[in-house]
């Protein structure tokens, strides 16, 4: 039995590492309007510490890493961290989730350092709407980042699109067209109440069945892909005759917790067994002590819950436990 197996026989081989809680955007589904208080730099795990935590994870069966944030590309020297992670025995795959704003400048160095795949967040194709959703920044720089990712050879390139009722649902058809015409994988994501279950979430949450309805309205012939594109929880489709593909990530309307294989490491050094709940394990007191770090991974297996309860939250039902107060930018998505 693999070492990182939890009480529900789920094997864990995937660690998402947030390298910073800072970000150059303020997406309305991720951060409150007034922003969040960033952790002081002295609270963040150093790159040496991240390498140490991953080395222990790899010795227990972690083989896949995703670098995320906040916006990971705002932390200086990220390519240096990636090349150190890529050299750890047992690490087979390193991917990155970014908002793309700084990617054009860093794509080549990151690819050379060992990033295999990138997910770039793109919620709209309209520059004015981009400013509304992200509250700052420039869509053109994201598009340049996507182009650079293709140029340096990242494959597959996935675009993360959080669907928001009344905000960007009228662009579903345009995103499907993009998935038809370009060798890209568009991932539609349900808006999750992480660290907030406020009116903004309740008003803008949109179940992803809407995507398949739009595909039907557009008379698109979609086929379900058996092979999952990558290793995520996405339900994947191709539009017959098209070049790319699309996927649905619907944690609320149909959760995928029974297949969960992931742990998360926050930028301030907490191992989170589940994105949704408050529970986290501080790795800092264990740094420098391999046995103590191993014990933290094992404890994460012991306390990992069976599932989140976002659907119950939406239905106004009671929660069995306390949800996290951290926002997505403070966890890493």
CA distances (Å), 222 to each of 156, 171, 225, 248, 328, in order? Answer: 19, 18, 9, 13, 31
229: which 2 tokens? 């594109």
The reply to whether 124 sits near ligand SF4 by the rule CB under 6 A is: no
The reply to whether 44 sits near ligand SF4 by the rule CB under 6 A is: no
Q: Alpha-carbon distance 329 to 18, whole Å?
A: 9
What is the closest distance, in whole angstroms, from the C-beta atom of residue 160 to ligand SF4 in the complex? Answer: 8
Q: Which among 8, 20, 17, 12 has a CA at the least distance from the CA of 330?
A: 20
- Residue 26 interaction partner, one of ligand SF4, ligand SAM, none, beta carbon < 5-8 Å per kind: ligand SF4
100 near 25, Cβ under 8 Å? Answer: no
Q: Which among 184, 199, 300 has a CA at the least distance from the CA of 246?
A: 184
227-251: string of b/e by CB count within 10 Å (b at 16+)?
A: eebbebbbbbbbbeebebbbbbbbb
What is the closest distance, in whole angstroms, from the C-beta atom of residue 183 to ligand SF4 in the complex? Answer: 24
Nearer residue to ligand SAM within complex by CB, 8 or 132: 132
- Residue 31 interaction partner, one of ligand SF4, ligand SAM, none, beta carbon < 5-8 Å per kind: ligand SF4
Return residues touching ligand SAM (CB under 6 A). 23, 29-30, 68-69, 71, 97-99, 121, 160, 162, 189, 191-192, 194, 328-329, 332-333
The reply to whether 17 sits near ligand SF4 by the rule CB under 6 A is: no
Q: Which among 287, 136, 69 has a CA at the least distance from the CA of 78?
A: 69
171 near 127, Cβ under 8 Å? Answer: no
80 near 47, Cβ under 8 Å? Answer: yes
Pairing of strands 245-249, 185-190: parallel
Maximum Cα–Cα distance across the chain? 59
Task: Single out the segment in contact with ligand SF4 by CB under 6 A; choices: 23-31, 226-234, 235-243, 252-260.
Answer: 23-31
Nearer residue to ligand SAM within complex by CB, 12 or 250: 250
What is the closest distance, in whole angstroms, from the C-beta atom of residue 57 to ligand SAM in the complex? Answer: 20
The reply to whether 23 sits near ligand SF4 by the rule CB under 6 A is: yes
Pick one of 31, 96, 192, 265: the residue that binds ligand SF4 (CB under 6 A). 31
What is the closest distance, in whole angstroms, from the C-beta atom of residue 11 to ligand SF4 in the complex? Answer: 28
The reply to whether 99 sits near ligand SF4 by the rule CB under 6 A is: yes
Pick one of 17, 57, 70, 85: the residue that binds ligand SF4 (CB under 6 A). 70
Q: Give residues 236-255 in contact with ligand SF4 (rule: CB under 6 A).
A: none
- Residue 91 interaction partner, one of ligand SAM, ligand SF4, none, beta carbon < 5-8 Å per kind: none
Nearer residue to ligand SF4 within complex by CB, 20 or 307: 20
Nearer residue to ligand SAM within complex by CB, 251 or 269: 251
Q: Alpha-carbon distance 242 to 236, whole Å?
A: 14
- Residue 124 interaction partner, one of ligand SF4, ligand SAM, none, beta carbon < 5-8 Å per kind: none
Pick one of 230, 274, 329, 331: the residue that binds ligand SF4 (CB under 6 A). 329
- Residue 300 interaction partner, one of ligand SAM, ligand SF4, none, beta carbon < 5-8 Å per kind: none
Question: Per-residue DSSP letters for 11-72?
Answer: B--EEEEE--S--S---TTTS-TT--PPPPGGGSPPHHHHHHHHHHHHHTT--EEEEESS-G
Nearer residue to ligand SF4 within complex by CB, 161 or 286: 161
Nearer residue to ligand SF4 within complex by CB, 300 or 328: 328
Place of tokens 């996935």: 158
264 near 272, Cβ under 8 Å? Answer: yes
Question: Which residues contact ligand SF4 by CB under 6 A?
Answer: 23, 25-27, 30-31, 69-71, 99, 121, 328-329
């Amino acid at each position: 039995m693999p070492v990182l197996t939890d009480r529900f026989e789920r094997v864990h081989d995937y660690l998402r590492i947030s390298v910073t809680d800072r970000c150059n955007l303020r997406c309305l589904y991720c951060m409150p309007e007034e922003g969040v208080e960033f952790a002081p730099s002295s609270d963040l795990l150093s790159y040496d510490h991240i390498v140490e935590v991953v080395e222990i994870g790899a010795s227990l069966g972690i083989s896949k890493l995703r670098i995320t944030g906040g916006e990971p590309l705002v932390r200086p020297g990220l390519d240096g961290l990636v090349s150190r992670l890529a050299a750890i025995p047992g690490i087979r795959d390193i991917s990155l989730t970014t908002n793309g704003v700084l990617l054009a400048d860093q794509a080549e160095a990151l690819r050379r350092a060992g990033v295999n795949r990138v997910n770039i967040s793109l919620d709209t194709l309209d520059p004015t709407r981009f400013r509304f959703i992200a509250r700052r920044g420039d869509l053109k720089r994201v598009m340049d980042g996507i182009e650079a990712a293709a140029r340096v050879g990242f494959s597959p390139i996935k675009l993360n699109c959080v669907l928001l009722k009344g905000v960007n649902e009228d662009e579903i058809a345009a995103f499907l067209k993009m998935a038809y015409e370009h060798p890209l994988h568009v991932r539609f994501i349900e808006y999750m109440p992480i660290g907030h279950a406020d009116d903004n979430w309740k008003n803008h949450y949109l179940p992803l069945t809407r995507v398949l309805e739009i595909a039907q309205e557009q008379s698109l012939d979609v086929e379900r892909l058996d092979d999952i594109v990558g290793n995520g929880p996405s339900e994947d489709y191709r539009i017959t005759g098209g070049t790319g593909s699309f996927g649905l990530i619907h944690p609320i309307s149909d959760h995928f917790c029974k297949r969960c294989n992931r742990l998360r490491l926050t930028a301030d050094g907490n191992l989170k067994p589940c994105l949704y709940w408050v529970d986290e394990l501080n790795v800092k007191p264990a740094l420098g002590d391999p046995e103590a770090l191993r014990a933290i991974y094992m404890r994460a297996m012991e306390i990992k819950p069976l599932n989140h309860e976002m659907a119950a939250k939406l239905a106004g039902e009671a929660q069995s436990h306390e949800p996290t107060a951290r926002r997505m930018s403070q966890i890493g998505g």
